[in-house]
Amino acid sequence: MSQADGSMFHAETPLIGDREDDDDDLPSQQRSESLQTSPQSTFLQARQRRKITELEGKIELKKGMSIISQTNYFLAQGRGLKRVVALFDTVEDLVAENNRRYDDNDEDATLDQDRLELGYSILTKTLPWFLKKTSDMEHDDYMCMLKLLRQGADGARGDDTSKLKTLVSDWVNREFRPNPPIDVDDKHSRGFTSDACGKLLCPAELDWNDPVVRAGIRDRSDGHIVTDLSFPLFLYDKYAADPENLEEGLFKGKILLQGYKAVFTSPSSAKDVEGDGDSADVIQNNRRANKAVLTGIKVKKHVAQIIKMEKVTPRSIAYIACQVRFSLSSVTSWRSVDGDFDYIQFWRIIVDFFERPPGREAQHRVDKLLEWWTRKVFGRSCRECLTNVVKAKMSVNALARQRAQIDDATFDSN
Residue 310 contacts residue 298 (beta carbons within 8 Å): no
- For the chain, helix (H) and strand (E) counts, in that order, are 18, 2
In whole angstroms, give the CA distance from residue 235 to residue 246: 11
Largest interatomic CA distance in the chain? 142
Sequence letter at residue 386? L
- Return the top range by mean pLDDT from 68-72, 101-105, 346-350: 346-350
**What does the DSSP 8-state code read for residue 146?**
H
Q: Is 249 left (phi over 0), alpha (psi -120 to 50) or beta?
A: left
In whole angstroms, give the CA distance from residue 217 to residue 230: 13
Residues 6 or more apart from 307 whose CB is under 8 A from it? 80, 83, 84, 126
Average pLDDT in the 249-270 region?
95
- Return the top range by mean pLDDT from 50-59, 166-175, 302-311: 166-175
Cis link prior to 180 (omega < 30° from 0)?
yes
Residue 366 contacts residue 251 (beta carbons within 8 Å): no
pLDDT one-digit tens code per residue, 187-203:
999 999 999 999 999 99
Backbone angles phi, psi at 40, to 5 degrees: -65, -45
Percentage with pLDDT > 90 across the chain: 60
Residues 6 or more apart from 327 whose CB is under 8 A from it? 161, 164, 165, 167, 168, 169, 190, 259
Sequence letter at residue 290? N
Give the pLDDT confidence score for residue 63 in this predicted structure: 56
Comparing 54-58, 90-94, 174-178, 258-262, the range with the smallest average pLDDT is 54-58
pLDDT one-digit tens code per residue, 341-393:
999 999 999 999 999 999 999 999 999 999 999 999 998 655 666 778 888 88
Buried b / exposed e along 20-58 (16+ C-beta atoms within 10 A):
eeeeeeeeeeeeeeeeeeeeeeeeeeeeeeeeeeeeeee
- What integer best gives the mean pLDDT of the chain? 84
Q: How many Cβ atoms from other residues are within 10 Å of residue 363's Cβ?
A: 13
Residue 299 contacts residue 288 (beta carbons within 8 Å): yes
Residue 322 contacts residue 347 (beta carbons within 8 Å): yes
Closest to 302 (Cα-Cα) out of 265, 270, 252, 276: 265
Average pLDDT in the 1-13 region?
44
Q: What is the enclosing helix (H) or strand (E) of 374?
A: helix 360-378
Give the pLDDT confidence score for residue 286 in this predicted structure: 52
In whole angstroms, give the CA distance from residue 326 to residue 191: 9
pLDDT at 30 over 60: no
Residue 286 contacts residue 269 (beta carbons within 8 Å): no
Q: Which residues are registered as beta bridge partners of 232?
A: 203
Residue 98 contacts residue 117 (beta carbons within 8 Å): yes
Q: Which residues are registered as beta bridge partners of 57?
A: none
Chain-centroid distance of CA 362 in Å reads 30
H-type helices in 3-38, by residue range?
3-12, 16-37
Give the pLDDT confidence score for residue 302 in this predicted structure: 76
Give the pLDDT confidence score for residue 293 in this predicted structure: 46
In whole angstroms, give the CA distance from residue 233 to residue 252: 10
pLDDT at 25 over 90: no
Cβ-defined contacts of 241-246 (< 8 Å, 24+): 241/204, 241/205, 243/204, 243/205, 246/204, 246/205
Strand 341-342 and strand 337-338: the pairing is antiparallel
pLDDT at 248 over 70: yes
In whole angstroms, give the CA distance from residue 250 to residue 233: 9
Closest to 203 (Cα-Cα) out of 317, 69, 341: 341
Output the pTM of the full model. 0.75
In whole angstroms, give the CA distance from residue 342 to residue 338: 6
Residues 6 or more apart from 300 whose CB is under 8 A from it? none
pLDDT one-digit tens code per residue, 296-317:
555 567 788 888 889 999 999 9
In whole angstroms, give the CA distance from residue 4 to residue 159: 101
